[in-house]
Amino acid sequence: MTASSVDLELEHLPRLPESRDAPIGIIGAGFIAADIQLVAYKDAGFNVEAIASRTPRNAQVVAERHGIPRTHATWRELLDDERLEVIDIAFPPDQQPEIIAEAARRPHIKGILAQKPLAADYESALRAVESCEGGPLLSVNQNMRYDQSMRALKTLLDRGVLGEPVLATIEMRAIPHWQDFLRGGDRLTLQNMSIHHIDIFRHLFGDPEGIYVSARSDPRTDFDHVDGICLYVLEYADGMRAAAWDDVWTGPVREGSEGDVYIKWRVEGLDGLAWGTIGWPSYPERRPSTLRFSTKRQPGYVMEPRWPEVWFPDAFQGTMGQLLGALQGEPLALPAEDNLTTMALVEAGYRSLAERRLVTLDEIIGRTTQPA
Local confidence pLDDT in tens for the 372 residues of the chain: 344 589 999 999 999 999 999 999 999 999 999 999 999 999 999 999 999 999 999 999 999 999 999 999 999 999 999 999 999 999 999 999 999 999 999 999 999 999 999 999 999 999 999 999 999 999 999 999 999 999 999 999 999 999 999 999 999 999 998 988 899 889 999 999 999 999 999 999 999 999 999 999 999 999 999 999 999 999 999 999 999 999 999 999 999 998 899 999 999 999 999 999 999 999 999 999 999 999 999 999 999 999 999 999 999 999 999 999 999 999 999 999 999 999 999 999 999 999 999 999 999 998 544 333
Distance CA 4, CA 261 (A): 35
**pLDDT at residue 3, rounded to an integer:** 47
Q: For residues 306 and 166, state if they share a domain.
A: yes
- CA–chain centroid gap for 134, Å, is 25
Instruction: With respect to residue 223, please indicate whether it lies within any of the assigned structural domains.
Output: yes
The domain containing residue 117 runs over which residues?
A: 24-143
**pLDDT at residue 368, rounded to an integer:** 45
| Last residue in a domain, options 116, 143, 170 | 143
Q: For residues 164 and 134, state if they share a domain.
A: no
Q: For residues 68 and 207, state if they share a domain.
A: no
**pLDDT at residue 371, rounded to an integer:** 35
Q: For residues 87 and 194, state if they share a domain.
A: no
**pLDDT at residue 180, rounded to an integer:** 86
Q: What is the pTM of this model?
A: 0.95
Distance CA 83, CA 280 (A): 35
Question: By three-state DSSP, how is residue 157 classified?
Answer: helix
Q: For residues 223 and 199, state if they share a domain.
A: yes
| DSSP character string of 43-62 | HHT--EEEEE-SSHHHHHHH
| Last residue in a domain, options 118, 143, 168 | 143
CATH code at position 264: 3.30.360.10
Q: For residues 204 and 61, state if they share a domain.
A: no
Q: For residues 102 and 38, state if they share a domain.
A: yes
Q: Are 32 and 58 in contact (CB under 8 A)?
A: no
Q: For residues 221 and 296, state if they share a domain.
A: yes
| Last residue in a domain, options 143, 159, 184 | 143
Instruction: With respect to residue 332, please indicate whether it lies within any of the assigned structural domains.
Output: no
Q: For residues 120 and 193, state if they share a domain.
A: no
Instruction: With respect to residue 371, please indicate whether it lies within any of the assigned structural domains.
Output: no
Instruction: With respect to residue 372, please indicate whether it lies within any of the assigned structural domains.
Output: no
Compute the residue count for the chain: 372
Instruction: With respect to residue 15, please indicate whether it lies within any of the assigned structural domains.
Output: no
The pairing of strands 272-277 and 137-140 is: unpaired
CATH code at position 127: 3.40.50.720
**pLDDT at residue 4, rounded to an integer:** 53
Helix 122-130 to helix 336-355 angle, to the nearest 10 degrees? 160
Instruction: With respect to residue 73, please indicate whether it lies within any of the assigned structural domains.
Output: yes
Instruction: With respect to residue 341, please indicate whether it lies within any of the assigned structural domains.
Output: no
Q: For residues 239 and 249, state if they share a domain.
A: yes
Q: For the chain, what is the domain count?
A: 2
Q: For residues 177 and 280, state if they share a domain.
A: yes
Q: What is the DSSP letter of 192?
A: I
Instruction: With respect to residue 337, please indicate whether it lies within any of the assigned structural domains.
Output: no
Q: For residues 247 and 157, state if they share a domain.
A: yes
